C-alpha cells in the first residue's frame, strides 16, 4: 500500500478523533431511540463538521465542496465506518454526480448542499426495478419548459432529512441510455410519501417510499443531459462502492479491536478466552481478511485518482465491484465472528458487535447486490482478461 503523506495522516487523526470522541458516545442512545437524533445534537454536530472541514468531501472546491482525492475520501470513510447507526454520515457528502450540475443548479442545489442548508437523496429503485436499473417505470414526459414525472420510488435513503431528490426516470428510449436524472424538490405538488418502512438497522436516517403523481419539474432541473441518466448513476455506483468498501474496512477494524480487547479480559475456565485457539482462529481470520480488503480498497482509490481514459475508467468500474464484493462480505463475516466472541453480550444492542451484525448486512445489498457485483466482474473478465484486473494499468 502506498504510504500516507503527513497531510493524509493528519486528516485520518482528525476524523478519527471526531468519530471516537463525539460520535461513538451517541451510539447506544441513538440505537435505543431507533435512530432518532434530536435537532439540537444534529445542528451541533453539523457545525463541528463544518469547523473540521469534513463536509462535501467528494465535490469540487469550485462548487463549495472540499475537493478531496479518492484516497483522502477513503481515509475519511474508513473512519466514518467505525461508528454504528450511520452516525458517520453526519459528515454529509452529496452525491458525486452533482459535479455535472449547471451554474444555475450549483447555485440552487449543489452549493447549499455542500454548506448543509439543503440535503439530497438518490431515487433509482422502484417496486419492479432494483438490480436492473437500466429500465425505469417512472416516466418523465416533456411539457413545454417542464417535465412531468410519474412513478414510485423505494428505499430513498435520507429521504426524511433531504429536501430534494435526484430522480432517475425513463425518457425517450432512442436518446442515449433512455434515462435522465432530474433535481426534484421534495415539497413539489404531486409527491406523496407512501410510508417510512422499518428496516433491520436503526440509522440516523430513514428510507421512505415515495409516489410521484404528475410532479412538474422545470427543464432547468435536468442533471447532465437527456439520455445520460443510467451513465451518471453508474458513476455514482462506482464511487459509492469504493466508499462502502472503506466503511466496511473501518467497521471491521473496530470489531476486531473490540473483540480482541474483550477476549484478553474475559476469563472462562480460569483463563482469558484469548488463550483458546477457537477464539484466536476467529480473530486471525478476521484480521487477515481485513488486511486483504483494506489493501484493495486503497489500491482502487488510488487507481480511481489516476484513471483518465475511458478504458481505465471501465477497469476501475469492474475493480470497484471486486472491492465492494470483497469488503462487504468480509465485514459480514467479521461481525458474525465478533458476536460469537462476545457471547451473550454480542447479542445485546448496547454492544457494537450486535449493531454492526445487523447494519453491515445491507452492504451486500445496496449499490448492487453481491450477485450483481459478480456479474459485473465476470463480464469485465470476459472482455478484458485477467491481467487487466489484477495487474498494473
Ligand atoms: C436500506 C436500503 C437503502 C437503500 N437506499 C436506496 C437509495 O437511496 N436509492 C435507491 O435508488 N435505492 C436504494 N436501495 C435499493 C437497493 O439498491 C436495492 O434494494 C438493490 O439494488 C437490490 O434491488 P432489489 O431490492 O429490487 O432486489 P432484486 O433486484 O429484486 O434482487 C433480488 C435478489 O435477486 C438477485 N438477482 C437479481 N438479478 C440477478 C441476476 N441477474 N443474477 C443473479 N441474481 C440476481 C439479487 O442479487 C437479490 O439477491 C436501498 C435498499 C436498502 C435495503
Q: Note whether residue 191 is domain-resident.
A: yes
Domain boundary among 178, 208, 227: 227
Counting atoms of ligand 1 from 1, which one is nearest the CA of 367? Answer: 17
Q: Note whether residue 124 is domain-resident.
A: yes
Q: pLDDT (tens digit, 9 = 90+) per residue, 73-85?
A: 999 999 999 999 9
Residue 133 CA to ligand 1 centre (angstroms): 9
157 confidence band (pLDDT: 50, 70, 90): very high
Pair 243, 316 in one domain: yes
Pair 125, 102 in one domain: no
Q: pLDDT (tens digit, 9 = 90+) per residue, 203-218?
A: 999 999 999 999 999 9
- Check pocket membership of 373 for ligand 1, CB cut-off 6 A: no
Pair 378, 237 in one domain: yes
Q: pLDDT (tens digit, 9 = 90+) per residue, 327-363?
A: 999 999 999 999 999 999 999 999 999 999 999 999 9
Pair 185, 251 in one domain: no
Pair 111, 27 in one domain: yes
Counting atoms of ligand 1 from 1, which one is nearest the CA of 371? Answer: 47
Counting atoms of ligand 1 from 1, which one is nearest the CA of 369? Answer: 47
Q: Which of 238, 242, 259, 237 is nearest to 326 (CA)?
A: 242
Q: Note whether residue 1 is domain-resident.
A: no
121 confidence band (pLDDT: 50, 70, 90): very high
- The total domain count for the chain is 3
Pair 223, 157 in one domain: yes
The CATH number covering residue 187 comes to: 2.40.110.10
Pair 285, 213 in one domain: no
Q: pLDDT (tens digit, 9 = 90+) per residue, 231-257?
A: 999 999 999 999 999 999 999 999 999
Residue 26 CA to ligand 1 centre (angstroms): 30
Pair 217, 130 in one domain: yes
pLDDT at 392 exceeding the cut of 70: no
The CATH number covering residue 30 comes to: 1.10.540.10
Pair 249, 199 in one domain: no
Pair 125, 96 in one domain: no
pLDDT at 173 exceeding the cut of 60: yes
Strand pairing category for 191-195 and 271-272: unpaired
Q: Residue 96 sits in which domain range?
A: 6-115
Pair 241, 198 in one domain: no
Q: Note whether residue 270 is domain-resident.
A: yes
Domain boundary among 81, 115, 149: 115
Residue 263 CA to ligand 1 centre (angstroms): 37
Q: Note whether residue 357 is domain-resident.
A: yes
- Check pocket membership of 202 for ligand 1, CB cut-off 6 A: no
Domain boundary among 87, 115, 143: 115
Q: Note whether residue 238 is domain-resident.
A: yes
391 confidence band (pLDDT: 50, 70, 90): confident
Q: Residue 224: how many CB atoms within 10 A of its CB?
A: 19
Q: Note whether residue 99 is domain-resident.
A: yes
Q: C-alpha grid cell for residue 216?
A: 412538474
Dist. CA 310–CA 318, nearest whole Å: 13
pLDDT at 249: 99
The CATH number covering residue 241 comes to: 1.20.140.10
Mean residue pLDDT of the chain comes to 97
Q: Note whether residue 12 is domain-resident.
A: yes
118 confidence band (pLDDT: 50, 70, 90): very high
Residue 196 CA to ligand 1 centre (angstroms): 18
Entry pTM:
0.98
Pair 86, 137 in one domain: no
Amino acid at each position: 500500500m502506498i504510504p500516507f503523506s503527513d497531510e493524509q495522516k493528519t486528516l485520518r487523526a482528525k476524523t478519527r478523533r471526531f468519530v471516537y470522541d463525539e460520535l461513538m458516545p451517541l451510539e447506544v442512545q441513538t440505537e435505543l431511540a431507533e435512530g432518532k437524533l434530536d435537532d439540537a445534537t444534529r445542528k451541533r454536530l453539523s457545525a463541528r463538521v463544518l469547523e473540521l472541514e469534513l463536509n462535501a468531501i467528494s465535490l469540487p472546491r469550485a462548487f463549495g465542496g472540499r475537493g478531496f482525492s479518492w484516497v483522502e475520501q477513503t481515509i475519511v470513510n474508513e473512519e466514518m465506518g467505525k461508528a454504528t447507526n450511520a452516525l458517520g454520515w453526519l459528515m454529509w457528502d452529496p452525491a458525486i454526480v452533482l459535479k455535472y450540475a449547471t451554474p444555475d443548479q450549483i447555485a440552487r442545489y449543489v452549493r447549499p448542499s455542500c454548506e448543509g442548508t439543503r440535503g439530497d437523496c438518490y431515487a433509482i429503485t422502484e417496486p419492479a426495478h432494483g438490480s436492473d436499473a437500466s429500465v425505469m417505470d417512472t416516466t418523465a414526459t416533456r411539457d413545454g419548459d417542464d417535465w412531468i414525472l410519474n412513478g414510485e420510488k423505494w428505499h430513498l435513503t435520507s429521504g426524511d432529512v433531504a429536501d430534494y431528490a435526484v430522480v432517475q426516470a425513463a425518457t425517450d428510449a432512442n436518446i442515449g441510455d433512455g434515462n435522465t436524472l432530474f433535481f426534484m424538490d421534495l415539497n413539489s405538488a404531486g409527491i406523496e410519501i407512501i410510508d417510512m418502512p422499518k428496516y433491520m438497522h436503526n440509522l440516523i436516517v430513514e428510507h421512505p417510499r415515495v409516489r410521484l403523481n404528475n410532479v412538474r419539474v422545470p427543464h432547468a432541473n435536468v442533471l447532465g443531459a437527456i439520455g445520460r441518466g443510467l451513465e451518471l448513476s453508474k458513476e455514482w455506483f462506482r464511487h459509492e462502492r469504493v466508499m462502502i468498501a472503506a466503511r466496511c474496512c473501518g467497521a471491521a477494524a473496530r470489531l476486531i479491536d473490540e473483540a480482541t480487547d474483550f477476549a484478553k479480559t474475559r476469563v472462562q475456565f480460569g483463563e482469558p478466552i484469548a488463550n483458546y485457539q477457537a477464539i484466536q482462529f476467529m480473530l486471525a481470520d478476521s484480521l487477515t481478511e481485513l488486511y486483504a480488503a483494506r489493501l484493495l480498497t486503497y489500491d482502487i482509490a488510488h487507481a480511481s485518482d489516476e484513471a483518465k481514459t475511458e478504458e481505465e475508467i471501465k477497469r476501475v468500474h469492474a475493480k470497484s465491484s471486486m472491492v465492494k464484493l470483497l469488503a462487504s462480505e468480509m465485514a459480514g463475516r467479521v461481525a458474525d465472528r465478533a458476536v460469537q466472541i462476545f457471547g451473550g453480550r454480542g447479542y445485546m444492542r448496547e454492544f457494537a458487535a450486535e449493531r454492526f451484525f445487523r447494519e453491515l448486512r445491507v452492504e451486500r445489498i445496496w449499490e448492487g447486490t453481491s450477485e450483481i457485483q459478480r456479474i459485473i466482474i465476470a463480464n469485465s473478465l470476459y472482455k478484458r482478461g485477467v491481467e487487466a484486473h489484477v495487474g498494473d494499468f
